[in-house]
């Protein structure tokens, strides 16, 4: 027997606004606390709307794999920016786009991008030589954002943009995403049509991005086969059944989506890794020993990565503690059962990797940093859906292998040359916006390996 949706437990809220003030105030702490108190399916009243937070891995499996077609995405705040890209689309359109884009993210294709990742990391580390020599504090979050921004611009557009254009495009996209994230976490915001300073800047940024992307699409269509980058793959991709290619608008939407999925998320995780290692010396020592044995000071290649298991374990544990996608939602097409409850069509169900990754039944001492959780034997014994940093199932992030390779290459390069230390007086806490990033600033000190 299943219980009605009205029987799902949840915290009592205030009149009119429900629990919205608490959810907007400190959503991470609030969601972890209500899971402990109310269980694995929690009703959240948000004034006129109700959301159901599904936490248990069995429910994650149901939503993302067993009955995934019944749980659709709906992100109106991002529609204008991302259009009908992979993150926001559903149904036949999503399936076609996924099929068209899959070859661009094949592991062999991604491995060919490794040289760009290494070259950009080398340029960043050359800049760090000055920071180390002068003892100048470094904003690690800013450095990682700049690095991953350059990588995604080059892997997407190759040499089609000069340095100034690439920097302008990267900045415009960052500003656009930050603006959109801010819209979702305010009690009230003026309509986008109002000529406020923020709205006007948003419009200028979006116009710059679209003007640049459409220009490059047209150039590629006139000179196909002359480039080896992601944009070339999108422009030349053909549907195996119909022979159709993507329209310029579809390509534009996927370019914007790849920027979202392949830039800020990776930057945030790399920043968190360096923060955690600065406070866990034993893990840092294990990493350095592994690098010394396998790499001996040279830059890593994709072929080296299977020989660097602890490197991957540190990344996985960081993604567990601070998953970039900390919350997402789905809307039921038809009624479905989650746990002991029947949810109606139209119900909004939220998933939170941040909370599921702290479920006490699957993660003992969940707040502690312990890469040993990702030993192969430990992984085999754990529920497959207890760890979902890239979600899972058919709608798993298409760029997960790109992001993982990027982090696995960059981290050894940093730690073989520099020690990154926390600076007292600059506490770091998770800032939940479009992604989960460290904040408010992340000032750290870098020193050459072997110094003091």
**What are the tokens at 60?**
């994650």
Q: What is the CA radius of gyration of the chain?
A: 22
Beta strand 71-72 pairing with 138-139:
unpaired
CA distance 107 to 393: 18
Name which of 35, 42, 38, 30 is nearest 5 in CA terms.
Answer: 42
**DSSP one-letter string for 374-406:** GSHHHHHHS-GGG--BTB-GGGS-TTHHHHHHH
CA angle 254, 401, 82 (to 5 degrees): 20
Instruction: Compute the residue count for the chain.
Output: 452
Residue 397 is assigned to a ligand binding site: yes
H or E, element range at 328 = strand 328-332
* Bond from prior residue into 149 cis (ω within 30 degrees of 0): no
Name which of 286, 289, 281, 295 is nearest 313 in CA terms.
Answer: 286
Torsion angle, alpha carbons of 380, 384, 390, 391, to 10: 180
CA angle 365, 57, 369 (to 5 degrees): 25
Question: What b-and-e string marks burial along 191-222, b requiring 16 or more CB atoms within 10 Å of the CB?
Answer: eeeeeeeebeebeebbebbeebbeebbeebee
Maximum alpha-carbon separation in the chain: 68
Please list, in sequence order, all residues whose beta carbon lies within 8 angstroms of the beta carbon of residue 235, skipping any fewer than 6 positions away. Answer: 217, 220, 221, 224, 245, 246, 251
**What are the tokens at 169?**
């495009």
Q: Can you say which residues are annotated as belonging to the binding site?
A: 397
Q: Can you say which residues are annotated as belonging to the binding site for heme?
A: 397
């Amino acid at each position: 027997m299943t219980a009605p949706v009205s029987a799902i437990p949840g915290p009592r809220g205030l009149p009119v606004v429900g629990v919205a003030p608490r959810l907007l105030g400190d959503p991470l702490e609030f969601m972890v606390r209500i899971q402990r108190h109310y269980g694995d399916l929690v009703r959240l009243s948000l004034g006129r709307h109700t959301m159901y937070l599904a936490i248990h891995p069995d429910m994650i499996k149901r939503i993302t794999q067993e009955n995934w077609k019944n749980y659709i995405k709906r992100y109106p705040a991002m529609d204008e920016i991302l259009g009908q890209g992979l993150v926001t689309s559903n149904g036949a359109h999503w399936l076609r786009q996924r099929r068209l884009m899959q070859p661009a993210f094949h592991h062999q294709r991604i491995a060919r991008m490794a040289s760009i990742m290494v070259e950009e990391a080398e340029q960043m580390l050359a800049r760090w030589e000055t920071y180390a020599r002068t003892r100048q504090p470094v904003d690690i979050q800013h450095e990682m954002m700049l690095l991953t921004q350059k990588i995604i611009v080059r892997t997407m557009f190759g040499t089609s943009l000069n340095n100034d254009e690439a920097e302008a495009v990267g900045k415009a996209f960052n500003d656009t995403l930050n603006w959109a994230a801010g819209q979702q976490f305010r009690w009230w915001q003026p309509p986008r049509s109002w000529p406020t300073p923020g709205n006007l800047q948003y419009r200028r940024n979006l116009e710059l991005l679209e003007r640049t992307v459409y220009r490059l699409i047209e150039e590629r269509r006139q000179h196909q086969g002359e480039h080896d980058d992601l944009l070339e793959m999108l422009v030349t991709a053909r549907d195996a059944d119909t022979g159709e290619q993507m329209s310029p608008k579809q390509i534009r939407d996927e370019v914007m989506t790849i920027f979202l999925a392949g830039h800020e998320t990776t930057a945030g995780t790399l920043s968190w890794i360096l923060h955690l290692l600065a406070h866990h010396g034993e893990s840092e020592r294990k990493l350095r020993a592994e690098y010394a044995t396998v790499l001996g000071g040279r830059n890593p290649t994709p072929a080296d990565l299977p020989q660097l298991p602890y490197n991957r374990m540190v990344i996985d544990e960081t993604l567990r503690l601070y998953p970039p996608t900390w919350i997402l939602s789905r809307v039921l097409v038809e009624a479905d059962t989650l746990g002991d409850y029947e949810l109606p069509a139209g119900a909004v169900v939220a998933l939170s990797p941040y909370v599921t990754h702290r479920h006490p039944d699957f993660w003992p001492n969940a707040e502690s940093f312990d890469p040993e959780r990702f030993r192969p034997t430990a992984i085999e014994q754990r529920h497959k859906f207890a760890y979902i940093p890239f979600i899972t199932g058919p709608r798993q992030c298409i760029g997960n292998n790109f992001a993982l390779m990027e982090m696995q290459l960059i981290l050894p390069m940093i730690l073989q040359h520099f020690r990154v230390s926390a600076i007292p007086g600059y506490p770091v806490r998770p800032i939940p916006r479009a992604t989960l990033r460290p904040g408010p600033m992340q000032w750290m000190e870098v020193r050459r390996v072997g110094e003091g």
